[in-house]
Amino acid sequence: MRPFLLMLAVLLFFSCSKKAEIVTEKDFIKGVYGHPAALLDKGYRFDSLGINAVFVRSISLNLDFYKTAKEQGAAVYVEFPTLNGKGYVEAHPDAWPIDKKGLPAPPADWFMGVCPIHPGFREFRSQQLREILKEYAVDGIFLDYVHWHAQFETKDPILPETCFCERCTSSFGKEIKQEIPGESIAEKAHWILRHEDKAWRKWRADILNGWVEDMGKIVKSEQPQAKLGVFYCSWYPSDYDSALYKTLGIDPLALAQRADVLSPMLFHRMKDRPTSWVGEYVTWLGESIGFKSEGSKSSDLDQFPSTLIWPIVQAHNNPGTVSPEEFHRVLMEGSKSPSSGIMMFSAESIAQEPAKIKVLKQFYRNKNSKD
């Protein structure tokens, strides 16, 4: 009886394996981001659309969706809202980011950040991540909102100076071995920005890098094979008076040292850029982290030998309308070497537009690892 059961198990394994293609390192990642179940609700299948990876918001992840995605040959990557403080700061006012005037920073449009060194928030997010990893065997975790409080998904970004709470100014003072002068938060902020601006910017970037490291350790300890990805603002270093580093606290090269995958958010409409900018940014990023322009690794810049580039591009109609032709162009641009994958924002938006579904299906089904 036991040999029979063993043989049956082997047959079932190979039978299930043939139902869906296994995503390997050599496959070009063809993904959708957001709430991919919206496509299933419309009657589509991931495999029939050519989709081999879904990037699902953690709040949309459930067991039924997970099983269906796997059955249809899609790798499951989970978006993790790292420093999105909405909901938490309202319940924990001491976690609210403080501006240079000493006031709680207002929401930046729809986004609400958090003080990144608030110990309760760090434990809150760490526990959430552990729970996801214990319940699901994921293909990767993609950290989102890895930036200080600000709003960049617009042509007119909102860039407040934060966070100057007592925790942050005290921690920074210890970093520079200096008690920060001033009686009020505003006075301390003024002194920091006038006398230790360079050190302040580096300290803030190091805080974010620490978050990526810590979240990465949790991922690798629970599921060593899972990838750690980072969604991040796709500005060039000099854009908006160097706000990528100075205000958001983002250093793409530092992220490349800590993550398996970088996913620049190449939302051309939101940032009022031409479609050609998508491909230009992919080329720039590749060269910055050690790829030659033709896609092979450079011999003298090999410090990031395993970093992958999977851009996320915009299909969502805001602002204005992204036409099917425009959507096709950004898919083309974002897939240029050295990109080894691409995803689009968002699954919900294209689920309502058959013309964009057609574009995605044709592009993804014709795209393979040799392109």
Is 66 contained in some domain? yes
- How many structural domains are present in the chain? 2
Mind listing the pLDDT tens digit for each residue in 107-145?
999 999 999 999 999 999 999 999 999 999 999 999 999
State yes or no: pLDDT of 2 exceeds 80: no
DSSP 94: G
Q: Are residues 154 and 288 in the same domain?
A: no
- Mean of the per-residue pLDDT values for the chain? 91
Which element (helix H / strand E) includes 261?
strand 261-266
Is 119 contained in some domain? yes
166/168 Cα distance (integer angstroms): 6
Q: Are residues 61 and 111 in the same domain?
A: no
36 three-class SS: coil
State yes or no: pLDDT of 12 exceeds 50: no
| Average pLDDT of span 332-345 | 97
Q: Are residues 77 and 103 in the same domain?
A: no
Boundary (domain end) residue, out of 186, 217, 233: 233
Q: Are residues 115 and 225 in the same domain?
A: yes
Q: Are residues 115 and 35 in the same domain?
A: no
Is 10 contained in some domain? no
In the structure, what pLDDT confidence band is assigned to residue 86 with cuts at 50, 70 and 90?
very high
Nearest alpha carbon to residue 316 among 291, 281, 343 = 343
State yes or no: pLDDT of 67 exceeds 60: yes
Sequence-distant (6+) residues with CB within 8 A of 58 are 78, 79, 80, 81, 128, 132
Is there a contact between 32 and 348 (Cβ–Cβ < 8 Å)? no
267/345 Cα distance (integer angstroms): 8
State yes or no: pLDDT of 24 exceeds 60: no
309/328 Cα distance (integer angstroms): 19
Whole-model pTM?
A: 0.90
Q: How many CB atoms lie within 10 A of CB 238?
A: 10
Mind listing the pLDDT tens digit for each residue in 195-236?
999 999 999 999 999 999 999 999 999 999 999 999 999 999
Q: What is the pLDDT of residue 290?
A: 87
Position with higher pLDDT, 312 vs 7: 312
Nearest alpha carbon to residue 70 among 88, 95, 35, 45 = 45
Is 5 contained in some domain? no
Q: Are residues 112 and 136 in the same domain?
A: yes
Q: What is the pLDDT of residue 26?
A: 63
Q: Are residues 63 and 51 in the same domain?
A: yes
Is 18 contained in some domain? no
Q: What is the pLDDT of residue 279?
A: 98
Q: Are residues 226 and 294 in the same domain?
A: no
Widest Cα–Cα separation across the chain? 80
Q: Which domain holds residue 306?
A: 23-81+260-371
Is 137 contained in some domain? yes
Mind listing the pLDDT tens digit for each residue in 276-331?
999 999 999 999 998 854 444 443 334 554 799 999 999 999 999 999 999 999 99
Q: Are residues 76 and 89 in the same domain?
A: no
Q: Are residues 75 and 109 in the same domain?
A: no
CATH code, domain with 109: 3.20.20.80
Boundary (domain end) residue, out of 233, 248, 275: 233
Q: Are residues 216 and 269 in the same domain?
A: no
State yes or no: pLDDT of 9 exceeds 70: no
In the structure, what pLDDT confidence band is assigned to residue 23 with cuts at 50, 70 and 90?
very low
State yes or no: pLDDT of 237 exceeds 50: yes
142/40 Cα distance (integer angstroms): 22
Phi, then psi, of 167 in degrees rounded to 5: -60, -50
Q: Are residues 202 and 321 in the same domain?
A: no
